[in-house]
Amino acid sequence: MEGISKYFPENRVQANRNVNLVVKKNEIHAIVGENGAGKSTLMKILYGLERPDKGRIVLNGKQVSIHSPMDANRLGIGMVHQHFRLIREFTVAENVVLGIEPKKNGLFFNRDKSVRDVRSVIEKYGFNINSESRVADLTVGQMQQVEIVKMLYRKADLLILDEPTSVLTEQEINRLFDNIRELKNQGKTFIIITHKLDEVKEISDRVTVMRRGEVVAVKETENVDQKELAKLMVGKSVLFKLKKDPVSPGAVVLELKNVSLKLKRQERPLLDRIDLKVRAGEIVGVAGVGGNGLGELEDVVTGLFKVSEGEIFYKGENITGLPASKFREKELGYVPADRLNRGSCLDSTVRENMIITRHHDFLKAGVFNQKKISVFVNNLFKSYSITGDTSVPIGTLSGGNIQKVILARELATNAELIIFSEPTWGLDVASGEFVYENILKLRKNGIAVLLISSNLDEIMNLADRIVVMYRGRITGRFTNDKSISKALIGEYMMGVRNDFN
Amino acid sequence: MKLIVKRKKNPENIFVNIFSLSVTMGIAFLIVIVLILFLSKDPAKTIRYFFIGPFLNRYYFGNMLNSAIPLIFTGLGIAIAFKASTFNLGGEGQVYSGALAATAVCLALPEANGFIGGSLAILAAIGVGAVLAGLSGLFKMKWGTDELISSFLISGAVVLIVNYFITGPMDDPANNLLTTREIAKQYRFMQIFPPSKLDISIFFAVLTAFLVFFFMFYTHWGYEMRMCGLNREFSRYGGIKVKFYLVLPMILSGSFQGLAGAVSVMGTYHMSVKGFSFGMGWNGIAVALIARNNPLAVIPAAIFFAYIEAGASAAMIHSDVTFEIAAIVESIIYFLITAQALKDFIRYRKRRTE
Amino acid sequence: MNESGYYFPVIHNAVGIMTPFLLAAIGGLFTELTGMLNIALEGLMLIGAFFSVIFAASTGSLFLGVLFGIVITMFIALIFGLISLYLKADIFISGLATNLLASGLTVVLAFKIFGNKGVILFKNLPELPSLNIPFLQKIPMFGDIFIGHNIFVYLSWLIVIIAAVVIYKTPFGMRLRGTGYNPRAITALGLKPRNYQLAAILISGFTCGIAGAVLTLNLGAFVPNITSGRGWIALVAIYLGNKNPFGIVIASFVFGFSESFSNYAQGATKIPADFILAFPYIITVVAMIGYSVWKYYKENRKVF
């Protein structure tokens, strides 16, 4: 792939900027990078799901144009999506052959032949699934095998695996890697997207590192160690000049005791026995790479998701299992990661968005006091220097202004605990700094802050204590002082080190 | 059960709305003119009656406004449900049973004071509608039963049961028609525009539309309901009890359907006639759709609907086409109004020309 | 034994009455499987009813009548499908529009052609051929169910079998079902869900055209809104039949039987006919709620 560029006007993101990617025949090529580095977009372009703005794709020396997955399949390119594209109600064989079904008498679906053919593919490459079982009855790991078999059945020689290990257990990962090695022996080529460096080291031949839509390095896996990769991935430390007063934590505000979250049919828990305390006047940073339980932690501490095990306390009171509305009544502020869907209602006005958390305060006998709302909204606009009309749908504002609205709203509660999740993701530098200043102001005012973020710079700059999560578990706990380095935390985030296993 | 009814968010730009609505109406009327040219032996006359018939005399004009009354109520009922992204497809049964309930109360209290008895009759109609629709909301809340189909099915059964009461136990033995007895004089709404049937409840309907508007945009429940309708995730995040807003809008929606039945009985028919309210529930959906679920816009939308039907019936009486031509116009409006692509196109064109 | 010559005339009649339900429901099954709620069945059926009887009367041929009826119904279905799928209309609203269009168009045209919008009788309509084997019809149950019906009844059974084969035994059917289960999976393979949805709508137009023809050709007349809710009941039959062709046969029989029984019961029992007619709706609501309760506790899913 040469000089690929892609810009998404909807969310104003330059996903790929002049990217060159060279994959050699019969190698396992890893692409690593943080969330939003542009790995997935690049692969979608290769698989015909997105069209690039610029650049060309050369396959076996010939320039090709790929307009749809069908084109990609014809050229021998197959992709396994992070979120499987399977029909749960169908059998393995039916899923595999769908779209290029073998026929009987030129008209009917040849079930026997498809079962036979699929079974022979499964056996040839040593997978452990039954071609006649229903996909809904399979484990997540087996579903992934179905996806791979689907591509092999289509005679794919180049297989793209997007975050293949993110939902798998250790055993399933080992199994997957065995399959990949076996396939490589039989002449297949792989591109594996991941951000788990131990896996890169274990499975790949070469590795391309991406950051912010660009390729920053291409290395032979043998010649590079995980520490170096981690450094390349996260980039140089960007330290803002933030004035931090010495910490003087007060009483425990939020406490999680042994909290776990499991989903049905998924063997690996999304959260695994989490213990966590947040005190008044301190910022606790939870670091980790996406898919390791940060989002789930966010859902659980805000009451939007019920825990499977364990207990949550707010100022000593057990609030486990209470509905989200009760969490809100406890005066909890929450700036969510998903600010466009959860944090705001894009089709509703800025004004209506601003009052959602405390709209009860403006009621008199069930009717809103419009004047009071105007005063409230205008004050927040002024103090957070938000520009724009309060009566337009919030969806018409820029990302930075939307985040300011959310921030203003959540900080205006009299909360003693505020939870931030990815508070600066996708924001420009100025908006980001604005967010940081406000977080530090909260700390100064004795508010407990839980900062969940995959942006390590952010955590290092703000947090007093740092907790690192990897695969749903807390793998490291640190006090944020001179003794720790970004590289060290990075190693915990990537699963290179683990204090609790 | 899988449904792909899109729970759509409305673009709130009023100019785009009015512009696209005018285009829609224009196309619909154009098609109707072509249709009349094809169907009628004297097209000029038919077209004239179709378009200005409803304004020819007091009788036609008054009756047109009168038939808009129940449509305002049913339109409001549907708009409330849609605004909360819940679906009430049981309008037909709720209107019909509301009418029967009002009739039954009036007949049971032949001697009571008009105001007290009338209020009881209206309350009974509201109650029946609310319960019928509320059940669907409750099932949705409790177990996720799809309210769209359950409300339709409940309504289907209710229509038949009401038929039974009208033609069976409550049938008027004095005539051969399938009707109940007439309600007593003190329950009938005052007629305000004789010789037409237009009665005082039109003021009530307009007032109700304003009240619903106020409810939706200025009150606690209205705000929470709209937020739930637009984005349930956001509402839950904001601490709103989203489950409650699966039930409340259905209850309100059903109440208005029942109310439409009561005013039809007490204002226009003075009895329940087998099948007399058929179409009011469905037309309520069309009215809400044209009004983009805005309670105030429901008033002109309902009058517009009544206008098409009045025009068609004037054309039928004075010329040689049949009333059902109205249904064709309405269906074309339905089609055009829901074609999202068309709306996008218009919006796009408008942006380009600005 | 009675004068009709059948052991169970109620069952015999039910088999005849169920045919339009069955045909419409089988067509609706295709759209349902692609994930669309097709409420236009009612209107499509009405179009078929009107045009097939008119063409049959004017050409003097049943076959041509039904053929034209099907063609026009499929044309209306095509419009409905194009608007819903390619103009991105809400299929629910455009379905309502189709129903409204059908009821308006048929009456307007009837009035234009016959100057009458009530019952239109066609006197010189050819009679529907039916299968009569007197000695077989005397066999209890077998005779009631299988013998003495008109040709449409047997045609509908053939269509059910063909539908089952298409749905379960052909690649087309697999993709069709796949579209309903997970359109993203279909898209990921480079196929277009919309094409399968349009095909399903056309199929529903085809069967609804025949279903309508059954109503009018049997009666030898057109009555405004002759379908009187049969399309809606067919929709319910799809759910009650658990979205399976043979389940739909049973569900349609239940509806056919309740209508046949109510014809019979109006004279013979004290239960009011309306209650009997309401029974299928009530049963379906109860079944639907029961199903979701069961599913709720099985999956313990969270309803927001």
The tokens 């109700």 sit on which residue?
A: B208
C-beta atoms of C94 and B334 within 8 A: yes
**Per-residue model confidence as pLDDT tens digits over A228-271:** 887 787 776 555 556 667 777 888 888 999 888 887 666 678 88
Number of domains in chain B: 1
Coil, strand or helix at A277: strand
pLDDT band at A492 (very low <50, low <70, confident <90, very high): confident
| Average confidence (pLDDT) over B97-118 | 91
DSSP of chain C, one letter per residue? --TTS-S-HHHHHHHHHHHHHHHHHHHHHHHHHTT---TTHHHHHHHHHHHHHHHHHHHS-HHHHHHHHHHHHHHHHHHHHIIIIIS-B-HHHHHHHHHHHHHHHHHHHHHHHHS--S-EE-TTPPPPPB---HHHHTSTTHHHHHSS-BHHHHHHHHHHHHHHHHHHHSHHHHHHHHHHH-HHHHHHTT--HHHHHHHHHHHHHHHHHHHHHHHHHHHTEE-TTTTTTHHHHHHHHHHHTTT-HHHHHHHHHHHHHHHHHHHHHHHH-SS-HHHHHHHHHHHHHHHHHHHHHHHHHHHTPPP-
Q: Pick C178's closest partner by Cβ from A70, A90, A108.
A: A90
Say yes or no: A390 and A472 in one domain: no
**Contact call for A81 and C169, based on CB within 8 A:** no
Neighbours of chain A (3+ CB pairs under 8 A): B, C
- Residue B333 vs residue B16, higher pLDDT: B333
Same-domain check for residues A44 and A137: yes
Contact A109 C173 (CB under 8 A): yes
Q: Are residues A422 and A286 in the same domain?
A: yes
A436 inside domain: no
- The predicted model gives B247-256 an average pLDDT of 96
- If one compares B248 and C4, the residue with the highest pLDDT of the two is B248
Neighboring chain C residues of A48 at a CB cutoff of 8 Å? 190
pLDDT surpasses 90 at C40: yes
Rounded to the nearest angstrom, the minimum Cα separation between C3 and chain B is 31
**Residue B77: per-residue pLDDT:** 96
Interface of A with C in 52-91 (CB under 8 A): 68-71, 73, 81, 85-90
Between A152-161, A338-347, C94-103, the lowest mean confidence (pLDDT) is in: A338-347
pLDDT: which is higher, B196 or C280: B196
Token code pair at residue A483: 């003794």
The residue of chain C nearest to residue B335, with distances taken between CA atoms, is: C94
**Cβ pair B223:A368 closer than 8 A:** yes
- pLDDT for the residue C198: 96
In a shared domain, residues A210 and A63: yes
Minimal Cα–Cα distance from B75 to chain A, Å? Answer: 22
Contact (CB<8Å) A342/B234: yes
Q: Does C303 touch chain B (CB under 8 A)?
A: yes
Kindly determine whether residue B238 and residue A348, on different chains, have CB atoms separated by under 8 Å: no
User: Which of C37, C87, C97 comes nearest B5 by C-beta?
Assistant: C37
* C90·B8 Cβ contact <8 A: yes
Cβ <8 Å between A87 and C185? yes
Does residue A132 fall inside a structural domain? yes
Is A367's CB within 8 Å of B220's CB? yes
Is it the case that residue A322 has pLDDT exceeding 60? yes
CA distance A264 to C229: 42
pLDDT (tens digit, 9 = 90+) per residue, A266-289?
A: 667 888 888 999 999 899 999 987
Q: Which residues of A touch B221 (CB under 8 A)?
A: 366
Torsion from C-alpha of A299, A305, A309, A314, nearest 10 degrees: 60
Kindly state whether residues A165 and A23 are assigned to the same domain: yes
Is the pLDDT reported for residue C299 higher than 80?
A: no
Is residue B324 less than 8 Å (CB to CB) from chain A? no
Distance CA A143, CA B300 (A): 55
Q: Which two tokens stand for residue A82?
A: 């992070």
pLDDT at site B203: 94
Q: Which residues contact A241 (CB under 8 A, 6 or more apart)?
A: none
Residue pair A276/A452 in contact by the 8 Å Cβ criterion: no
Average pLDDT, stretch A43-64? Answer: 85
Across the interface, of B167, B322, B342, the residue whose CB is closest to C108 is B322
A356 inside 8 A of chain B by CB: yes
d(CA A97, CA C174): 10
Identify the weakest region by mean pLDDT among A400-414, B257-271, C4-18, C149-163: C4-18
C241 versus B258: which is more confidently predicted?
A: B258
Subunits touching C (CB < 8 Å, at least 3 pairs)? A, B
Q: How far apart are CA A420 and CA A403, in angstroms?
A: 11
Does residue C188 belong to the interface with chain B, where contact is any CB pair within 8 Å?
no
C189:A69 CB<8 A: yes
DSSP state of A91: B
Q: What average pLDDT score do residues C37-54 get?
A: 93
Residue C303 has what pLDDT? 37
pLDDT band at A119 (very low <50, low <70, confident <90, very high): very high
Is B272 inside any structural domain?
yes
Q: How confident is the model at residue A1 (pLDDT cuts 50, 70, 90)?
A: low
Mean per-residue pLDDT of chain B: 86
* A268 within domain boundaries: yes
CA atoms within 13 A on the CB side of A387: 3
- What is the domain partition of chain C in residue ranges? 9-123+140-272
Residue B146 is predicted with a pLDDT of 82
Asked if the C-beta of B326 comes within 8 angstroms of chain C's C-beta atoms, the answer is: yes
3-state secondary structure A163-195: CCCCCCCHHHHHHHHHHHHHHHHCCCEEEEEEC
For B272-330, write each residue's pLDDT tens digit.
Answer: 988 888 888 888 988 998 888 899 999 999 999 899 989 988 888 888 888 888 888 88
CA distance B1 to chain C (A): 8
CB contact under 8 A, B234 and A345: yes
Q: What is the pLDDT of residue B21?
A: 77
Chains B, C: CB pairs < 8 Å: 164
| Claim to verify: residue A187 and residue A228 sit in the same structural domain | yes
Q: What is the mean pLDDT of residues C214-223?
A: 90
**What would the mean pLDDT of C9-34 be, rounded to a whole number?**
91
B271 touches B183 (CB < 8 A): yes
Residue B5 forms part of a structural domain: no
Is A259 found in the same domain as A366? Answer: no
Looking at per-residue confidence, does A452 or A382 come out higher?
Answer: A452
Quote the minimal CA–CA distance from C294 to chain A in Å.
17
Is CATH 3.30.1330 what the domain over C9-123+140-272 is classified as, yes or no? no
Burial of A223: CB neighbours in 10 Å, binned 0-12, 13-18, 19+: exposed
Residue B137 in any domain: the answer is: yes
pLDDT confidence bin for C304, thresholds 50/70/90:
very low
Which residues of chain B neighbour A327 with C-beta distances below 8 Å?
239
The DSSP element (H or E) to which A286 belongs, if any, is: strand A283-287
User: For chain A, what percent of residues have pLDDT higher than 90?
Assistant: 16
Instruction: Confirm or reject contact between B231 and chain C (CB < 8 A).
Output: no
Q: Are C288 and B156 in contact (CB < 8 Å)?
A: no
Asked if C170's CB is within 8 angstroms of A107's CB, the reply is: yes
pLDDT at residue B225, rounded to an integer? 94
Question: Percent of chain B at pLDDT above 90?
Answer: 42
C-chain CB neighbours of B286 within 8 Å are 96
Residues of chain C found within 8 Å of residue B158, distances taken between Cβ atoms: 278
Q: Does A239 touch chain C (CB under 8 A)?
A: no
Cβ separation of B332 and C97 shorter than 8 Å?
yes
Domain that holds residue B130: 15-27+45-347
CATH of the domain at B70: 1.10.3470
Neighboring chain B residues of C112 at a CB cutoff of 8 Å: 39, 321
Round to the nearest angstrom and report the end-to-end CA distance of chain C.
58
Torsion sign across C-alpha atoms C212, C215, C219, C223? negative
Residues in B closer than 8 angstroms to C107, CB to CB, are 322, 324, 327
pLDDT for the residue numbered C79: 94
Residue A279 lies in a domain: yes
Query: B12 contacts in A (CB within 8 Å)?
Result: 347, 393
Distances (CA, A) of C15 to C62, C186, C261, C274, C281: 21, 39, 11, 21, 19
Using a CB-CB cut-off of 8 Å, the residues of chain B touching C274 are 160-161, 163-164, 167-168
Burial class (CB in 10 A: 0-12, 13-18, 19+), B278: middle
Please count the structural domains in chain A: 3
Instruction: Name the residue among C97, C285, C288 with its Cβ closest to that of B331.
Output: C97
Is residue A103 domain-shared with residue A226, that is, in the same domain?
Answer: yes
CATH of the domain at A260: 3.40.50.300
What amino acid occupies position A46?
A: L
Q: Are residues A93 and A123 in the same domain?
A: yes
Report percent pLDDT > 90 for chain C.
40
CB count, 10 Å around CB of C299?
10
| pLDDT tens digits for range B258-283 | 999 999 999 989 989 888 888 888 88
pLDDT class for C86, splitting at 50, 70, 90?
A: confident
Q: Is 90 exceeded by the pLDDT of residue C163? A: yes
The pLDDT of residue B184: 85
| Backbone φ, ψ for residue C192 (5° rounding) | -110, 110
Buried b (16+ CB within 10 A) or exposed e, A263-278: eeeeebbbbbbbebbb
pLDDT at residue B265, rounded to an integer: 93
The shortest CB-CB distance from C182 to any of A73, A87, A108 is to A87
- pLDDT of A434 above 90: no
A403 falls in which pLDDT band (50, 70, 90)? confident
Identify the residue whose tokens are 């129940």: B70
Asked if C185's CB is within 8 angstroms of A108's CB, the reply is no
The neighbouring-strand residues paired with A473 are A470
Which of A209, A234, A259 is where one domain is finished? A234
Q: For residue A55, give its domain range.
A: 2-234
Say if CB C125 and CB C56 are below 8 A apart.
yes
Question: Chain B window 167-206: which residues touch C at a Cβ cutoff of 8 Å?
Answer: 167-168
- Give the lowest-confidence range in B62-76, C96-110, C123-137: C123-137
Mean model confidence pLDDT for chain A: 84
